[in-house]
């Protein structure tokens, strides 16, 4: 007979809050990625249109493949690292990948600023790949946690609402900050 874990019907306010803000890093990086990526590579890095578009395309393809891979792998994972939980482990892997790679996606090529184009292309493609894998990992694991946190539909809807409220706040904060720094 399968052992069942008894969960409370209603999550605490602390649990709801911590779940809600658990995706803020992904929200901020996604807003930056989708809003400033092409502009950065075209205007700041001085890549022509096509390579800037290829970087974006590489990122979207990696995101699509990673989403499928992480979805299947996180469902099949039996236990997480150090008994951390399988969803939290995949979320942590994603956060670490995003934290490590994202700054390199929006900075000058370290050690290869004056190198040939293809070396710079490979450099950025590697960090974009790591970033997109991490983003997908964090996204999938965070959404999958909802079903493991509660079995009540109303609680699931509330968790999603709180999550998207923080998405809105994160994106708005990013745009307000950018507007402040880039005003002419």
Structure tokens at 168: 């809105």
pLDDT, tens digit only, all 184 positions of the chain: 444 455 556 788 998 999 999 999 999 999 999 888 888 888 888 888 888 899 999 999 999 999 999 999 988 887 777 777 888 899 999 999 999 999 999 998 888 878 898 999 999 999 999 999 999 999 999 999 998 888 899 999 999 999 999 999 999 999 999 889 888 5
**Residue 47: strand, helix, or coil:** coil
CA–CA distance, 113 with 123 (Å, rounded to integer): 10
Chain CA centroid to CA 5, Å: 30
Per-domain boundaries in the chain: 19-173
């Amino acid at each position: 007979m399968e052992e069942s874990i008894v969960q409370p019907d209603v999550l605490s306010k602390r649990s709801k809050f911590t779940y809600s803000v658990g995706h803020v890093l992904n929200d901020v990086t996604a807003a930056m990625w989708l809003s400033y990526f092409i502009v950065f590579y075209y205007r700041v890095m001085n890549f022509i249109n096509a390579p800037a578009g290829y970087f974006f395309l590489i990122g979207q393809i990696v995101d699509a493949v990673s989403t499928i891979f992480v979805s299947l792998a996180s469902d099949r994972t039996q236990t997480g690292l150090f008994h951390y939980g399988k969803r939290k482990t995949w979320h942590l892997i994603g956060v670490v990948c995003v934290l490590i790679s994202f700054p390199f996606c929006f900075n000058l090529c370290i050690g290869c600023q004056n190198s040939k184009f293809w070396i710079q292309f490979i450099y950025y493609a590697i960090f974009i790949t790591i970033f997109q894998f991490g983003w997908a990992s964090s996204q999938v694991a965070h959404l999958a946690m909802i079903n493991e946190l509660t079995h009540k539909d109303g609680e699931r809807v509330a968790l999603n609402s709180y999550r998207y409220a923080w998405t809105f706040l994160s994106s708005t904060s990013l745009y307000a900050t950018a507007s402040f720094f880039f005003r002419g």
